[in-house]
Amino acid sequence: MRCFNVESDSELERIEAIAKSTGKKAPISIRVNPNVDAKTHPYISTGLKANKFGVDIDEAINLYKKAHQSQHLSVQGLDCHIGSQITDVAPFLDALDKVLTLVEQLNAHGINIHHLDLGGGVGIDYEGEQTINIQAYINAIINKVGPTEIILEPGRAIVGNAGIFITKVEFLKQNSEHSFAIVDGAMNDLLRPSFYNAYHQVLPITQTPTGTKAQWDLVGPICETGDFLAKNRTLSLTEGDYLALMSAGAYGFTMSSNYNTRPRVAEVMVSGESHQCVRERETVQDLYVKERLYEI
Per-residue pLDDT reduced to its tens digit, 90-105 = 999 999 999 999 999 9
User: Under 8 Å CB-to-CB from 13, ≥6 apart: which residues?
Assistant: none
Amino acid identity of residue 32, one-letter, is V
260/28 Cα distance (integer angstroms): 41
DSSP class of residue 45 equals B
Question: For 15-30, what is each residue's pLDDT tens digit?
Answer: 999 999 999 999 999 9
Cα angle 204-207-210, degrees, rounded to a multiple of 5: 140
Q: What is the DSSP string of 16-37?
A: HHHHHHHT--EEEEEEEE----
pLDDT at 210 over 90: no
Query: Would you please indicate which residues are annotated as catalytic (active-site) residues?
Result: 223
Domains defined for the chain, CATH in brackets? 4-157 (3.20.20.10), 163-288 (2.40.37.10)
pLDDT at position 207 over 80: no
Query: What are the two backbone dihedrals, phi and then psi, of residue 33, each rounded to the nearest 5 degrees?
Result: -105, 110
Return the exposure string of 18-55: e unless at least 16 CB atoms fall within 10 Å of the residue's CB, then b: ebeeeeeebbbbbbbbbbbebebeeebbbbbeebebbb
Span 193-203, average pLDDT: 97
pTM (predicted TM-score) = 0.90
Q: Where does the pLDDT of residue 295 fall: very low under 50, low under 70, confident under 90, or very high at 90 and above?
A: confident
Secondary structure letter of residue 222 according to DSSP: S
Mean pLDDT of the chain: 95
